[in-house]
């Protein structure tokens, strides 16, 4: 398979099979790696990319002295596009990524959409992972926040407007989102055409818009049929509604060895409280290593 390389970023263009896509990623390596430490794979949320996890990936690689692979899930960032966008398909891609890079029992970390991908992989391929970290999402069917439908509508307008300045895109998004940090996050999907003319989205916004209802789903219903007995950390924002207290018993049935960490923030845990998030993950994995030793 041919890869285009630029610095530490790898952009695969060949599709592996009818089911699996070869995911783009950035590998963050520690200055002083220590053998025997399991690698990490970290996954972004809806409309995000590996770029969002660059700083935290570097910090985790440094602290845990192991490589951290920040991936772009299908239809996001630099990864290939496909008409199917659901958790089973994304889990296919991630399992193939782990196999293709010969990662031995990695820790899978995911935020929001990425959290459900991590939980899906853990439940259907439990021996593949050494640990799992889910950030502000739960293994349940739930309605997706209406904000995401609004974001999708705003980005579709941007795509159709033929804009030539980023400020024009921001003005469109202001109709749908007041918070500048969230607009800036969404606009990381905006790129200029090679001829230097109009801006366009690097994500297939029509595909993602059509798949929004699937983003509230979860592939597993019965904890008696699928369970992950490995170490699991559930991190939730206390000002977010995605991991309610009444769903904790179900989480315990799917993930009987789970630890819960509450962080005083909203849904965007990693960007709102990066230091608290870093500390929670490092302590969780260091404790796991001490028990395994």
Give residue for tokens 């990319």.
Answer: 49
What is the full DSSP assignment across 36-82? TPPPEEEE--TT--GGGGHHHHHHHHHHHTS-EEEEPPTTSTTSPP-
Residues 80 and 28: their CA atoms lie apart, in Å, by 21
Contact call for residues 277 and 235 (beta carbons, < 8 A): yes
Catalytic pick from 22, 57, 79, 112?
A: 112
Residues 264 and 48: their CA atoms lie apart, in Å, by 22
Residues 270 and 283: their CA atoms lie apart, in Å, by 16
Which stretch of DSSP H or E encloses residue 145? Answer: none
DSSP 217: -
Residues 220 and 130: their CA atoms lie apart, in Å, by 20
Residues 8 and 256: their CA atoms lie apart, in Å, by 37
Q: Is 112 a catalytic residue?
A: yes
Q: Is 267 a catalytic residue?
A: yes
Catalytic pick from 28, 44, 200, 267?
A: 267
- The residues carrying an active-site annotation are 112, 267
């Amino acid at each position: 398979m041919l890869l285009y390389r630029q610095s530490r970023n790898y952009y695969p263009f060949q599709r592996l099979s009818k089911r699996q896509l070869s995911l783009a990623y950035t590998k963050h390596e520690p200055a002083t790696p220590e053998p025997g430490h399991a690698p990490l794979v970290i996954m972004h949320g809806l409309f995000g990319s590996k770029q969002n996890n660059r700083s935290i990936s570097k910090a985790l690689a440094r602290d845990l002295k192991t490589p951290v692979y920040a991936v772009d899930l299908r239809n996001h960032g630099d990864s290939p596009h496909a008409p199917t966008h659901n958790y089973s398909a994304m889990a296919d891609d991630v399992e193939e990524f782990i196999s293709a890079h010969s990662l031995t029992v990695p820790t899978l970390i995911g935020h929001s959409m990425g959290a459900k991908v991590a939980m899906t992989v853990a439940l259907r391929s439990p021996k593949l992972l050494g640990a799992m970290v889910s950030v502000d999402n739960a293994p349940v069917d739930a309605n997706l926040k209406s904000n995401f439908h609004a974001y999708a509508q705003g980005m579709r307008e941007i795509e159709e407007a033929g804009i030539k300045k980023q400020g024009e895109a921001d003005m469109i998004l202001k109709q749908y989102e007041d918070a500048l940090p969230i607009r800036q996050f969404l606009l990381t999907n905006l790129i200029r055409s090679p001829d230097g003319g109009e801006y366009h989205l690097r994500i297939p916004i029509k595909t993602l818009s059509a798949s929004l209802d699937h983003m509230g789903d979860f592939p597993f219903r019965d904890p008696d049929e699928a369970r992950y007995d490995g170490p699991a950390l559930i991190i939730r924002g206390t000002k977010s509604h995605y991991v309610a207290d009444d769903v904790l018993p179900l989480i315990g049935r799917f993930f009987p060895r789970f630890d819960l960490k509450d962080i005083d923030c909203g849904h965007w845990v990693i960007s709102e409280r990066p230091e608290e998030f870093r500390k929670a993950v490092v302590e969780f994995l260091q404790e796991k290593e001490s028990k395994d030793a």
